[in-house]
Each structure stands twice: as structure tokens, then as C-alpha cells.
Structure 1
Amino acid sequence: MSLTDFLHGVETVVVDSGPRPIQTVRSSVIGLIGTAPLANEVAFPLDTPVLVNRRQAAAMIGATGSLPQAIDSIYDQGGALIVVVRVADAQTENEQLSKIIGGVDADTGAFTGIHVFRAAEAECGVSPMILIAPGFTHQRPLGVAGHTVTAQGNGYTQATVAFTGGGAGAVLPTAKPIITGGKITGLEFDSLGFGIVSPLTATVTGDGTGATITIQIGASANPVVSELKQLADGFKAHIIADGPSTTDAAAFAYRNDHGTRRVFIVDPTVSGWSVKTSTYALEHSSARVAGLISRVDNEKGFWESPSNKEVYGIGGLGRPIDYAYGDKNSRANILNENEIATFIRDEGWYLWGNRTCSADPKFAFLSVSRTGDMIDISIAKAHRWAVDRSITKQYFEDVTASVKAYMRQLRVRGAILGGDCWVDPEFNTEADISQGHVTFSYDFTPPYPAERVTFRSHLVSDYIRNLFA
């Protein structure tokens, strides 16, 4: 209303300036993908996100496939929100991995496989922050392990490469030739393929001639984890990946396939009670670990490490893991040293290990990485109100006050040691503001887990005098 309008009487003008409270997003929503051939088609349609908030809600999932046991393992740890994606059952492991990976349906344009998680927030109202695919992340199937340019050829300005062979059911790699001075000097791979059981032939075509390439085959990174990484980056989520559960060497090779904070590896498998067979049976441990993280989030907070917390429902391990206090050569310690979490038995079964696969030591600890994500997402989501507002001094004060208040709240709860928010003139120039671009800076320090506790022991004779005091 204009102040120049005539009014004889009383009016009320609503002033909506001031800071807004920031609500922390749900940190422990689990994204679970797998198979359940006997599931109710209406309750659990294929390639569709379905929100499950309690064990009873999964009653129509059936008793076969990977999903029923995974859901049971999660709820053995306590309450959890799960976004369940069911994919069709396949005849071979390679075909099943491809269905889990999915993509976009060529006919309908709908997401399939793990990409269905992209629709979770729109259809279920929550975004998964812990991603698991029990039974489909432990493999290191054969794929491209290397290549040799046996002849560089001449006269190339453009070229493509096609792959043939690999055996029945193989998913072939994709790559682009690298051209230097008219010669083919190598290949840039977009995908290494998987499930390759026979030799691959690479054929280069283009406007030049003479280039030939030999392909070497070997164990490669798990394709489901590799595909999940891009989703995890976008969601600011973490992948709980199952290790191979065979040997230490195999676990170390698996670990070396990844260098991102988004991957947290757990090895070995565990035995849990199967209601289907009425006996203990081996199962992949990622579901129990995801349920544990959800329980710790609910009881302690997202900033608390899940390591050294009891995992419920474990009857044993898929391979022996020895552990002793202070023993640097125990298998548990060696696995942890190589950024692989495991389990130890000491008056119960406990998850043992804090470290992600991060190449950046700043995000080595899972709890630190998740704390940073929760704060970043919460601040971003809480400030949609700040978009398209008029840029004034009051506007800057309102936003910074909101973030400062949130940091104080987190510090009181123990989620951070301290934090601040400010406006840096260097990033808010006249040119920036005239284009509608404003920048706020904030910092915080998360609490770090006490992974190594040292007691310094001194044996002295000083206290003998107390005998005669």
C-alpha cells in the first residue's frame, strides 16, 4: 500500500524482515535398491521409489530376492526411513547389475535402477542420504584393466572406437580416441565395462588409417558403486559399499578402486537370522550398517561416529577378524588402516572403523564428512525465502543472523565446536549485486572422533614413601 494513499482510520503493515530459523534436514534416510520377485506389484511397483517407515509397511515385499532380508536387517537396528526401489529379477549376474544401475527408459523417459532415487524427494518427500545395494556392490567383475596402442596410424583429425567380443552378457566399455598430431595416442574411457569373460577387440575408425589398439582385461571397480558416486555427489549422500569378504588382499584391491569421501567400505559379510530358512545365513553387511547409522543419528546425532557402536542381530562373520587392544597387526586394525571398516566382538558385535575412501584427508572421517553435508544442505534449503528478495543492508543482516543462530544451536547440541557467518565485500562487488548475485561466507569446526587414544604409562618408585607416611 502506498503511503500517499488517503486513509482515515487504522491500518496494519506487516514487516517480514528478520532472521528465519533453520531446520536440519533428515540425515539418516536410507536409499535401498534390490530385487523382490514376489513383491506386491501395487505396493512395490518396479523402478518406483516407495517410502517405508516401519517394518510392517514392508509386509508385502515378499520373501525372495535381496530386499526382504535387507529391510529386516535395517529394522533390527531400530526405526528408520527407507526409500525402497525394486528392480526386475534377471537371469545372470551381469544382467542383474545392469538393471540395478539402470538409467532412463528409452520409451517413457522415466528413471530406472538407482537413478530412480533422483525422484525420491519429489515423490516421497525425502532425499536418501545413505545409499545401499546389498548383494550388488561387493563384486569386482572383469572389465578393461588397461590398453596399449600397438600402432598410432596417421592422418586422423576425428575418430571413434568400437568394442566387440567380451562373451555372452558382457557390458562393453565405451571410450573416445585421443588424437595428437594426427596419431591415435590412447583412449579416454567413459566406462570400463564389466562381466567380460573373453577377449575384447577395439576397432578405430576415422579419417586416418593404421591405428590399432590392444585391450587388457582384469578385475575392475564395482559398476554399481561407480554409478552411485554421481548420485551421492548430487545428494551429498554416502554409499555404504560391501567389500568382497574373501581375503585382505581382495579388500585392499577393492578399496583402491575409489578415492571419494562418498564411499564407506565394510568387510566382511555377517551372519544374520533368516526367517525364510529359520537358521543363520550369511548376508551382506551394508544394510545392518545403514540401520546402525540411522539409529546413531536418532539417538546421538548425525555428528556422532557409528564406529564402536553395537550392531544388533549378528551371529558371526563371513571370515575371521581378529582384534586385540593395542595390537597394530590385528586384522581389524590393518583393515582400518586401509580405510575399510569391519566388525569386532567384545561383549557384543561392534562396527569398527571411521574412515571413508576420501583422497582428501580433510574428509577422512565419515562423521566429519556427514556433518559438513548436513550443515551445507540445511542452510541451502532453509534459504529459499531469500531468493529474489530486494538486496538491502537489512537483507544481508537477516541472512547472516539466520546462519549465526543456526551455528549457535549446533554448538549447544555438540554438533560443531563453533561456527560463524559473514558477508565478504570482495565477493559482493557492485558488479555482482547489480547482476542479482549475493554471496555469504560461513565456517564451522565439526567434532572429530577419538580414533586413537593413548595412555602414557610411567613405572616409578616415588610412592614407596607412602608406606611410612
Structure 2
Amino acid sequence: MADLAYAHGVTLTESAATPSLLRVQRQGITFINGTAPDADEATFPLNYPTLVTSVAGAALLGAAGTIQEDITTVFGEGGSWCIINRVEHSDDPAVLQANLLGDAVSRTGIFAALRAKGITGYQPRVVITAGNTGSWVEDGVVSVSLTAAGSKMTEAPTVTATGGGNDPGKELPTLVAVLGEGVNAGKVVSVTVTQPGKKLSEPPVITFEGGGEDAAKVLPQATANVGDVANPFVSALNAITPKIRARGYISGPNTTNAEALRFRRTINGGRILVIDPKVIKNVDGVPVTKPQAAVFAGVRSRVVASDEGVSGSVSNKIIRTIDGVARTIMYPDDANYLNEQQVATIINERGGFRTWGSRLATDDQLWQFDSVRATADMINESLEDIYFNYVDRKFTKGNLKMMMEDGNAAIRVFKNNEDILGGRCWFPALNDPTLMANGKLFLHVEFEPVGIMEQIHITTHRNILYYRLLLDEVNGLIETGPLAVAA
């Protein structure tokens, strides 16, 4: 817009009303959470996400721990950059797991992935971590349902669980009552499961004691719900990955196919790829079982960097860095059993070991494919970047028109790159003068990510009429061809 103040002569101003160019961030970066006790602390501080762009760049991590090996695997599979987070090693498994999990408030351990972009400038797209990610609690208390909230309690009552069956390995849960506020003051609004217990062959009896000195108080009543409980890595990944638009790749239990499926049923977050079984690598000539999440992460990074791009699948790709698998997966029987229930695996078919399966652990079938989720994440982030530049601009015809053109231009790029089948932008009827006067504008975008041909069905048929063709050909040879000469 013009400066309407007096200015004798010619004044030239370069318009700031320019289009916002499409910018796509790197989509193949892996976040690796683990240990490296011999690392140079100045280069790789504890719980500080650090960018590594090559295997050579990780030399100061040292060979001990898990990170160096995971980096080597990712790059060995053809992957690209990694962001590593080093946690303190401990020989005590419980302490080590606590270090790997870290803290959501201070963003340590696996939660350091939330700080990765702020520190390195790059957002990881796949998150992997050391630790026993394939464990779960068998028949623990998954939740507590309140049947009566109680009343007039001045403090949270003590919660006790008794019974739970006669399994010799039984452990009772640890529970904490949460007292309400405001209109729910004096009532228990929920019961938090701090330790689920395990091997409960029947629901334990829940009782409440205490709750303050008010003589009119009424204690609550509740029932326990028993089932398999996911490990804390799963809940951490379910909290982290949606915020940074990433997916978590984790190792399954590495025992049996049936237990791999049982483990998967403890997960439903939409961004976790379960992989089972683990892999075998020769270490100084000795076969050693290793987690396979880094293998899939490296393959995924390779696919992103190839002509397939972000919309390419991690499945059915040759694996370069392993010597075997910890449990033989027969194709197609075992593989179909696992894949149908959203467990990825490894098969040895058509010349080598291959990744097999790319369904995320979710009940939402629309978002179950890893590549579809990744494609939508890329487009959503790119659109956010484009429209960030429009925040606080004026409501003018030019700006609104340019917004629409910029969005549709981005959609065309993704369509031409074969990441989506098509899409469009439009202003919905929700835009109303009363909202627009308050600074609100609504823009709708639709697109459809390119899916994958996971299931190809071939039907073959017999046709005995080809014998007639055979006879016709022979008769032709007898009449005019070499058979006639021979006769």
C-alpha cells in the first residue's frame, strides 16, 4: 500500500506482498536415543540432541553403548542424517530404563526428541530408542472404573488392592486416588495406576480408607479392569510423535508370533511401527541378537532419499546390514499372520532378507500405512510453513487471492512429484464477518496421499482350446512348412 504522506519527486517501494514459496524440510532424519559411556562429553553432552551427518562424525561417541552401532546401521542401510540423544549408562536395568525414558517436563531421555528441532534446526521423522521396547505387563490393572465418587472427603483416600487370583507370580497394583476440585470438591474423580501389577488371574478388589475427618464423608467405590499393559516406551512415543510429526519404530518381544500379536494389542497410537523378530549380526565371528528398529529406520531414510521419496514404502526393501533373524519367518504364512495384525517383520525371499510390512499399530484403517502417515505429515508441515508468512497480514483481496494460489501451487508440486493423487484449497462457508473482524480466517485443504499396492491378487485360468491352436500350427507346418518337405 502507498505511503500517502507528502513526497516531492519519485519514490520507489518494493512490495512486500510476495508469494510464499514451498519449502519441504528433510524427511529422512532419524532420532536415536541410547547410551555411549565413552563419548566425548564436550561434543556429545548428556540429554542434548546432537546432529550427526556421517559415520565419521560419530567417532567421538566411542564404541561402547548402543548409539554408535545404531548410527552405523542407519548409514549402512543407506540412511542419511541422525540426531542422537545420549543418556547416562547404568548396569542396573531399572535405572537404565529410567534414563532412557527420561522426563517429559525436563525433556530428557526419549523426550529430548521434542527439543531436537529447537537445538539442531532439523525435525526427526523416525524415533528409535535403546531399551526393552518389546516388553509388556501380562494381566495387570489397565484402569480403574469408579462406580461411586464418594463425597465430603477433605483429603485423598488411600487406595488398596487385594485378591487378584492365585497365580504364584502375581503382583498387586499400586493405585492413587485423585480428589476433585470446584464442583467435584470432596469427591474422587479418578484413580491413577502408578504400578499395574501383573499376572492377575481375576480383578483385584479395590477398597478406600481415610479421606479426612469429616463425619459425613462417604468413601468411593471402584472396580479394577485387568488386561495386558503396554510398556512406558509406548506411552512416551504416543505422547512425543504427534507433536513432532514423526513415527516410532520399536522392536517387539522377539519370542513367538502369537506373543508379537499380543504385544501389538497393547498399542494404539497411530504412529508406532512394531517390528518382530530381532536380527542377528556377526560380531567378531559370533552371531549376536540385535534390535532391528535401526535397520528399518535406515531403510526408511534410504527410501525417502530415493526416487520413491516420502510416499515410498519401507516394506519389501533389501536389508544390507544383517546376517540373519532371531526367528525364521516363513513367507507367506507367518508374514501374513503378523502383517495383518500390524506387525512388520523380515523375510528371506528373492535373493535376501527384506523388510516386510508397513502398517502402523492403529485401529484407524485410514491412517495405518507408514508412508501415508509420513506423506500427510510432510504436506501438513509444508502448508503450515507457507501460511505462517501470512499471519498478521491485512485482510485484502490480494492477500486472500495469494493465499489460495500459494496453497494450490504447493498441492500441484506434490501431485507432480507423485506424493498425492490430487487436492485443492478453498475458503469454507465458516468464514463470517464477525469472525474475520476478530482476526480469524478459515482455509480448507484436501488431498489424497498415494497409497501402496500391498495386496496383489493374481488369478490364473486353464484353457484347453490352446490344444486346437497347437493342432492348427502343426497342420500349417505340414502343408507349407518344413514338415511337408520332410514327408
TM-score tier, shorter chain, comes to 0.7 to 0.9
TM norm structure 2: 0.84
1:431 is matched with 434
For residue 444 of structure 1, give the secondary structure of its aligned residue in structure 2: strand
Which of 374, 387, 397 is matched with 2:391 structurally?
Answer: 387
Deviation of 1:103 after TM superposition, in Å, equals 1.4
Higher mean C-alpha deviation, range 210-219 or range 430-439: 210-219
| Equivalent pair of 1:144/1:192 in contact (CA under 8 Å) | no
Superposed, 1:257-268 pairs within 5 Å as: 257-268=266-277
- Inter-partner Cα distance in structure 2 for 1:77 and 1:431: 55
- Inter-partner Cα distance in structure 1 for 2:312 and 2:411: 17
Deviation of 1:219 after TM superposition, in Å, equals 5.0
For residue 131 of structure 1, give the secondary structure of its aligned residue in structure 2: strand
* Cα separation, partners in 2 of 1:437 and 1:253, compared to 1, 3 Å: same
Deviation of 1:155 after TM superposition, in Å, equals 4.3
- Inter-partner Cα distance in structure 1 for 2:416 and 2:84: 35
Deviation of 1:89 after TM superposition, in Å, equals 1.6
Deviation of 1:288 after TM superposition, in Å, equals 0.7
Which of 368, 373, 380 is matched with 1:369 structurally?
Answer: 373
Letter of the 1:22 partner, please give it.
L
Q: Deviations over 1:417-460 (max 9, x none)?
A: 11111112x22110111111111111111111101111121211
Letter of the 1:433 partner, please give it.
M
1:193 is matched with 195
- Inter-partner Cα distance in structure 1 for 2:147 and 2:425: 58
1:335 is matched with 338
Letter of the 2:245 partner, please give it.
K
Letter of the 1:443 partner, please give it.
E
* Cα separation, partners in 2 of 1:79 and 1:253, compared to 1, 3 Å: closer
2:52 is matched with 52
Which of 292, 296, 299 is matched with 1:292 structurally?
Answer: 299
1:2 is matched with 3
- Inter-partner Cα distance in structure 1 for 2:358 and 2:227: 30
| Equivalent pair of 1:54/1:79 in contact (CA under 8 Å) | no
Deviation of 1:465 after TM superposition, in Å, equals 2.9
- Inter-partner Cα distance in structure 2 for 1:240 and 1:125: 22
Structure (1 or 2) with the larger CA radius of gyration? 2
Deviation of 1:23 after TM superposition, in Å, equals 1.2
Deviation of 1:222 after TM superposition, in Å, equals 1.4
1:327 is matched with none
Deviation of 1:145 after TM superposition, in Å, equals 2.2
1:254 is matched with 263
| Equivalent pair of 2:126/2:246 in contact (CA under 8 Å) | yes
Superposed, 1:192-231 pairs within 5 Å as: 192-193=194-195, 204-207=209-212, 208=217, 219-231=228-240
For residue 466 of structure 2, give the secondary structure of its aligned residue in structure 1: helix
* Cα separation, partners in 2 of 1:104 and 1:297, compared to 1, 3 Å: closer
TM norm structure 1: 0.87
2:448 is matched with 445
For residue 98 of structure 1, give the secondary structure of its aligned residue in structure 2: helix
For residue 280 of structure 1, give the secondary structure of its aligned residue in structure 2: strand
Deviation of 1:365 after TM superposition, in Å, equals 1.1
- Inter-partner Cα distance in structure 2 for 1:380 and 1:143: 43
Which of 297, 312, 317 is matched with 1:309 structurally?
Answer: 317
Deviation of 1:273 after TM superposition, in Å, equals 3.6
| Equivalent pair of 1:88/1:99 in contact (CA under 8 Å) | yes
For residue 259 of structure 2, give the secondary structure of its aligned residue in structure 1: helix
For residue 417 of structure 1, give the secondary structure of its aligned residue in structure 2: strand
Q: Deviations over 1:169-205 (max 9, x none)?
A: x99665537999999899543x553787999997654
Deviation of 1:308 after TM superposition, in Å, equals 0.4
- Inter-partner Cα distance in structure 1 for 2:176 and 2:36: 31
- Inter-partner Cα distance in structure 2 for 1:418 and 1:56: 42
For residue 420 of structure 2, give the secondary structure of its aligned residue in structure 1: coil
Q: Give RMSD over aligned pairs.
A: 3.3
- Inter-partner Cα distance in structure 1 for 2:305 and 2:38: 32
1:323 is matched with 331
| Equivalent pair of 1:269/1:318 in contact (CA under 8 Å) | yes
- Inter-partner Cα distance in structure 2 for 1:149 and 1:417: 45
Letter of the 1:135 partner, please give it.
G
Which of 375, 378, 381 is matched with 2:382 structurally?
Answer: 378
1:88 is matched with 88
- Inter-partner Cα distance in structure 2 for 1:219 and 1:183: 32
State yes or no: 1:359 paired with 2:363.
yes
* Cα separation, partners in 2 of 1:115 and 1:354, compared to 1, 3 Å: closer
For structure 2, the 5+ residue unaligned runs are: 162-168, 474-487
| Equivalent pair of 2:160/2:175 in contact (CA under 8 Å) | no
Higher mean C-alpha deviation, range 259-268 or range 198-207: 198-207
| Equivalent pair of 1:94/1:195 in contact (CA under 8 Å) | no
- Inter-partner Cα distance in structure 2 for 1:311 and 1:14: 54
| Equivalent pair of 1:178/1:188 in contact (CA under 8 Å) | no
Letter of the 1:247 partner, please give it.
T
Q: Deviations over 1:195-216 (max 9, x none)?
A: 8799999765424355577878
2:478 is matched with none
For residue 86 of structure 2, give the secondary structure of its aligned residue in structure 1: strand
Letter of the 1:131 partner, please give it.
V
Between the two proteins, the alignment pairs up a number of residues equal to 453
| Equivalent pair of 2:178/2:188 in contact (CA under 8 Å) | no
1:112 is matched with 108
